[in-house]
Amino acid sequence: MRYKCLVLDHDDTAVDSTPQVHYPSFVETMGILRKDMPLHTLEGFILKCFEPGFGPFCTDILKMSEDEIQTQYGIWRKHTEKTIPDFFEGFIEMLWKFKEAGGILTVVSHSEKERILRDYNFHGAPDPDMVFGWDSNPKKRKPDPYPLDEIMKAFSLKPSQLLMVDDLKPGLQMARKAGVDFAAAGWAYEIPQIHDFMKKESDYYFETVKSFEKTVLY
């Protein structure tokens, strides 16, 4: 194998969760908090999550107050609780091949750890060896390199033995800070602005899960 350890984002990298969970949550939130504002399309929503990022989108563009942020968070948690997103086709099979070949499987995501583990368990994916989800301490969340540093420490790994896989910039930024190779997961959506940036800035850009598998396993 080219890499001993995979560090996977969850949403829109392993699971197809934005159209199934996050965008419907956003639509409900807007219907409650911003009824008179034109609704972003799914593609428009994804672009805002890319730039400036979901947090700044809420605070700087939608001008949500702290109380509104908590309302949004509650609606989002309701959606993540009731809907289990699907893994992308071929992804689970690839994870099993990687684990059976002796690979270390880890997850670093802005989703909550319990939801990540639920998704893996429900769909029969191999248990991750380590998971970093949304942490109350911002210094421990990606793009801070803390999760990668902890993974390397736990498994006695060098940066060259890890591959970070993510569809958006926080994973890329985290990988660069830690000296870890980065692969862009380009299979979730086809949006030129995101495609062009990620292809230029990443060590690898994979348009399909199969091309990702071939690079990692062979």
| Residue 200 Cα distances to 49, 154, 194, 205, angstroms | 19, 31, 10, 9
d(CA 214, CA 92): 14
φ/ψ bin of 156: left (φ > 0), alpha (ψ from -120 to 50), beta (otherwise): left
Task: Quickly list DSSP for 112-152.
Answer: -HHHHHHHHHHTTPPPPSEEE---SSGGGSTTSSHHHHHHH
Write the pLDDT tens digit of every residue in 162-177. Answer: 999 999 999 999 999 9
Q: What is the pLDDT along the chain (218 residues), one digit of tens a residue?
A: 899 999 999 999 999 999 999 999 999 999 999 999 999 999 999 999 999 999 999 999 999 999 999 999 999 999 999 999 999 999 999 999 999 999 999 999 999 999 999 999 999 999 999 999 987 788 899 999 999 999 999 999 999 999 999 999 999 999 999 999 999 999 999 999 999 999 999 999 999 999 999 999 98
Q: Which helix (H) or strand (E) holds 104?
A: strand 104-108
Write the pLDDT tens digit of every residue in 31-46. Answer: 999 999 999 999 999 9
What pairs with residue 182 in β-bridges?
164
d(CA 24, CA 156): 41
pLDDT of residue 135: 78
